[in-house]
Amino acid sequence: GDVVTVETVGFSGTAAATQRAILLAETYYDQKKYDDGLAVLKEASTSGDAKPFAPSVAAMTASGLAQQGKYKNAAEEYMHAASITKYPTERSMYKADAARAYGTFAERFPRDARAGAAQQARIALLQATGDSTTANAELAQVCKRPTPEFKATCADRLGEQEFRAGA
């Protein structure tokens, strides 16, 4: 069928139109029509009266990308949402979503040249959101067989552990 866009309704650029786009995208996602949902969100206004909904548009875009298996792009979009929200709790939530997306990318595509950077971003986001237990556990796992991105971090970690042990 035809994709319904905000323009076809005649009130584009308004906060109500952006809210409608978010709900319509969610409906498309529920029907596994991710491209249609992303198309609606791309047309949604995120400025003027609709500016308060910009983080939600970015997060819904990230969700659609993740559901398509585009985890790295989803993580970047979640980080965009985190950077534009004015609410600290929402910012932490979007950063956690980004960390999950980066982690999924690194797990699913371990041989991809960007996997190490994605894993680094995930660990940094876990640390930034206060989840040091998970971050330390993942870092310990990575340091068993460090990739080039982690060699310095793992060496620093080992030196710190030996220092604490009195070596």
pLDDT of residue 93: 92
Q: Span 62-66, mean pLDDT?
A: 96
pLDDT of residue 154: 83
Who contacts 48 (Cβ-Cβ below 8 Å, separation ≥6)?
A: 13
Q: Span 13-19, mean pLDDT?
A: 89
pLDDT of residue 11: 73
pLDDT of residue 5: 52
Is residue 8 over pLDDT 60?
Answer: no
Is residue 86 over pLDDT 70?
Answer: yes
The token duo for 48 is: 């003027």
Task: Using pLDDT thresholds of 50, 70 and 90, give the confidence band for residue 167.
Answer: low
Q: Span 56-77, mean pLDDT?
A: 96
Whether residue 122 contacts residue 138, with contact meaning beta carbons closer than 8 Å, is answered with: yes
**Distance (Å, whole) CA 135 – CA 59:** 23
pLDDT of residue 124: 86
pTM over 0.85: no
The token duo for 38 is: 């992303």
Mean of pLDDT over the chain? 87
In b/e form, how buried is each residue of 66-104, taking b as 16+ CB within 10 angstroms?
Answer: bebebbbbbbbbbbbbbebbeeeebbbbbbbbbbbbbbb
For 22-55, the pLDDT digits (tens) are 999 999 999 999 999 999 999 998 998 899 999 9
For 94-139, the pLDDT digits (tens) are 998 999 999 898 888 888 888 888 888 888 888 888 888 988 898 8
**Which H or E element spans position 8?**
none
**Which H or E element spans position 50?**
none
